[in-house]
Amino acid sequence: MTPPATATATAAARRPATERPAARPRPAAAPQRAPLRVVAPEGRRRAGGRRITELLALAIVVAALLAVVCAHAMLAVGQVRLSSIQTQLNAEQAVHRQEVAAVASLETPSRIVSQSEQQLHMGTPAQIHQLSSVPLTTPLPAPKLTTPVAAATPATTSPTSATTPTTTAPAGAAG
């Protein structure tokens, strides 16, 4: 614990001015140091190693930036190609829509009827014959063909005799 400040001040005032405070004893003399010398070669090596490290770091940064630029250029080329493909796709979709509309207009029953009456000279039948149903499980007999009459001489053939084969209808098929 330190004495109060007033006590210290009064003690200093009571001392005569010629008295000096006791000097601290000096420590024992330190041993002499060796004289300093210049260490240039080792210092330069460290500086050279530092320069190499700095240059290597700079090269890595430049290479990373170059890689980013190359990747950006490749991305831009891909976007241009994608844009041109998108344009082609839109054009082909427009053509497809036009062709679908053309097919739809060609498939309308009214157009088919009018074209069949005008160009093919077809008309509405006066009477409609319904065909009888035939079971698909029973096989049909093979059609019977008549052989054409062999002409002995061209002079004896008449223009009314046809040489085309005729078929006979199977029994029960007539309706």
Per-residue pLDDT tens over the stretch 106-147 = 999 999 999 999 999 898 888 998 988 888 888 888 888 888
pTM of this structure = 0.38
- Among candidates 102, 81, 104, which has minimal Cα distance to 89? 81
Each residue of 97-126: b (16+ CB within 10 Å) or e? eeeeeeeeeeeeeeeeeeeeeeeeeeeeee
For residue 168, the model assigns a pLDDT of 55
Confidence of residue 34 (pLDDT cuts 50, 70, 90): confident
The owner of tokens 């029960």 is: 172
Per-residue pLDDT tens over the stretch 47-96 = 667 889 999 999 999 999 999 999 999 999 999 999 999 999 999 999 99
Length reported for the chain: 175
